[in-house]
Structure 1
């Protein structure tokens, strides 16, 4: 399991090089990536069977795929994490959206660098603890 070194912050200070990129990722997680997934959840799990719309699911799956390319682009240079050369809250926030996509059967729209990064996120001890809590 990957561990954060003691004292390593999940946030970035304003004077750090990737600060504004980090802030952008935090906003992108909910405003950009999670939104189309919420529509997919509605029309695959929430609505009664007769109100489920396969076309809406496919349309928003494609919408998510386009938006998820930003993750792939950020990781294309071989980075392990989204910003600052370390695991941050941006990885948690964006990782949630990528993980949610896998639970909705949309993992195939994630690029190879994104899938590798998500595997690193999921291999973290904290992710495992969170999943264990969910089972309780």
Structure 2
């Protein structure tokens, strides 16, 4: 069942099994606020079991572009389109959030972003990336990195 993420009253609903659930909930709420403010889009997520096609798409891009397989199990995911951009997010038990920004037009931007919740270690499979820090009222300190997608998906 889809869950609309509330960024005013942050909830760990769906993320309870994460050891950094409050920070991951803040990270998810931070994304919800961004999409509401920028695109007037309500950010909704589904349990991983109901979002297999989204998780498979993100996993395929990671595997084929950089030979990355995420060890942590996914908890939730979402996929939507705003202004010609296909967006997908997967939230993992470890506190990791991965998003894919895939512009549908041929000449557009396409990238994979990684965000680490406050309090989690960098996963071994992402140890080659440099992470920048960003402060968030909802999520504390977010560490983020990305790479550009080169192929078609």
Same fold by TM-score, threshold 0.5 exceeded?
Answer: no
TM, length-normalised to structure 1:
0.25
From the two aligned structures, give the one with the greater strand fraction. 2
TM, length-normalised to structure 2:
0.23
Larger RCO of the pair (alpha carbons < 8 Å, separation 6+) = 1
From the two aligned structures, give the one with the greater helix fraction. 1
